[in-house]
Amino acid sequence: MIERYLRGIAGFFVLLSILLAKIVHPGWLWFTVFVGFNLFQSAFSNWCPMMVILKKLGKK
């Protein structure tokens, strides 16, 4: 179940950063890179910083 939250949050962050890059400043695309990198590394390590946060919030 925590993976569904993780994918939803990651998708939201990607869309948000693209919107902010268009409206505010293109530098927000680095946030998209950060989210993508974390998703990529979590595919190999099965660990992501957002998973730690979600577990502390009581999500299973």
**Residue 34: pLDDT above 90?**
yes
What pLDDT, on a 0 to 100 scale, did the predictor assign at position 3?
87
Would you place residue 22 in the very low, low, confident or very high pLDDT band (cuts 50, 70, 90)?
very high
Average pLDDT over residues 12-26: 97
CB 1 within 8 A of CB 60: yes
C-alpha angle with apex 19: 15 to 25, nearest 5 degrees?
130
Question: 15 in helix, strand or coil?
Answer: helix
Q: What are phi and psi of 23, to 5 degrees?
A: -90, -40
- This prediction has a pTM of 0.82
